[in-house]
Structure formats: structure tokens, C-alpha cells
A = this chain, B = another copy of it.
């Protein structure tokens, strides 16, 4: 345990409160499977999503945004070009951004593109175990995540049954969540977008990542308690995220 987690429930609650107060704009380059659900998760948390991938206008959107998500799902030439323009605008306007290298384990070209993006300095990378192995060439232990975070100077948020959040110096394990989260498409993508929203209001990207993953995990536990299956779960987790309060976070958060 390398983290000052005693007061983490309150830190997470504070971050979520700032998202609700400031309504940060999160521009998302994401796959068409995930766009609708991602937008609804952001709105439920109090953020304002935008989603255009048109190369002509994406720079305007990103320059006016408070965070950027680059998700590689359904990646085509237009989205690749959009990502390049978006990152240029993000660098110029110092907009923090999140990389979500979806399914890079399935496509060598996508993995290569993810590596070029990683070199452009995301604040955080959120990915699962197979994607972590494809990107960093190592297993998904918390030691490996810490090494990867140090090597790429970004927070690594490696999600699974437990989520590992590491930067070069600190590590945390977030143990909130529910098995039905794995049966709703775009849940990981939405988590990455939520991390964009927390990054927009919390300069410490490691805390922002913990806040996003813990909030979604706790919302998932609440949803799982009443859901009849993945359909009602997908609906209930949005409700739970929208209603998530400090007392619930204090009672449920499991971060070590």
C-alpha cells in the first residue's frame, strides 16, 4: 500500500462534486458502439459530452473542452485523422487527455497506433489486461502497471476484477464493481470518459483515475443489487452514478 487512502472516500466525493458543479466539457473520440452510452454516463455524472470526429471541426471542439478521450474502438482513417487534429489542439490548449486502447490485442495496426499515441503524453491510459499486455508487453501485476506508468509518464488504470491505478510513484487497488459491468458493452469506454471528466477537475491524475473507477464501481454495486440482468443493470448504473453521494461512497468505497 503506497497511497494515502484513509480519506479517499472524501477525496472521491469532492472530485465528483466538482464535476457536478463545473460541468466540464469532455470531448470523446470514441467508437460508434460506445458513443450513446458514454454520453449518457458523462451526463449522469454532471459532465457535458461532445463526440464529433470530423477533422474540420474537431480542433474547435477540443480547444473549448476541459478534457479529451481518445478511444481506439472501431478505429478507421477518419478517426485516426481526427485523433491527430484533436491531440494538436489538446497540446496547444493544455487539455488533459485519456487514452483507451480498445482491442489492440486483436489488431497489430491498432496496437502500433496506440504506441504512437502513448508517446504524445496522455494524462492517463485506461485498459484491460489483454490490452495492457499488448501495449506494454508484460503481465498485469501491480508492479508491472507501476513500471508501465513510470515508463510512459502517465497514470495507468488497469481495470479488471480489481482495478490497479498507478503512476510513477503511487499505486492503489480499487475493489469496487460488479460482474455485470462486463456484460454491458462500452462500460469500459464509459469509465475512460468518466476519467476524462474527473481529470478536468482534478490536477492529480492518479486521484482523478481512482475517483472515476471507484465511482463507477460503487454505482455498479448499487445497480447490481436490484438489476434482473445486464439490460436493467446498464440503466440502473446510470441512475446510481447520478445519485451517488458522499455517505454512500464512505460506506462502500474499497481502495487500498
Contacts and interface: CB of A to CB of B under 8 A. Distances in A.
Interface of A: 31-37, 39-40, 43-44, 49-57, 60-61, 64, 73-78, 103, 106-110, 183-186, 227-232, 234-243
Contact of A230 (B43, B75, B232): B43
Contacts of A32: 32, 35, 51
Contact of A231 (B57, B106, B234): B234
Top 8 closest A-B pairs, CB basis? A229-B239, A231-B238, A39-B185, A229-B242, A57-B107, A231-B235, A54-B76, A228-B239
Given A39-B33, A76-B78, A238 B242 contact: no
A144 B186 CA distance: 41
The residue among A34, A57, A110 with the most chain B CB atoms within 10 A of its own CB is A57
Contacts of A31: 51-52
A236 B231 contact: yes
Contact of A235 (B64, B103, B235, B241): B235
A231 B40 contact: yes
A8 B176 CA distance: 42
5 contacts: A36-B186, A51-B74, A53-B76, A61-B107, A229-B238
Contacts of A183: 43-44, 242
Nearest to A72: B52
B75 A52 contact: yes
Contacts of A43: 183-185, 230
A78 B127 CA distance: 27
A241 to B, nearest CB: 8
A79 to B, nearest CB: 8
Given A109-B57, A231-B234, A51 B39 contact: no
Contact of A106 (B34, B61, B103): B61
A35 B35 CA distance: 10
Given A76-B78, A230-B238, A231-B235, A33 B60 contact: no
Contacts of A239: 227-232
Nearest to A34: B36
B232 A236 contact: yes
B61 A74 contact: no
B36 A185 contact: yes
A134 to B, nearest CB: 12
Contacts of A51: 31-33, 73-74
A25 to B, nearest CB: 9
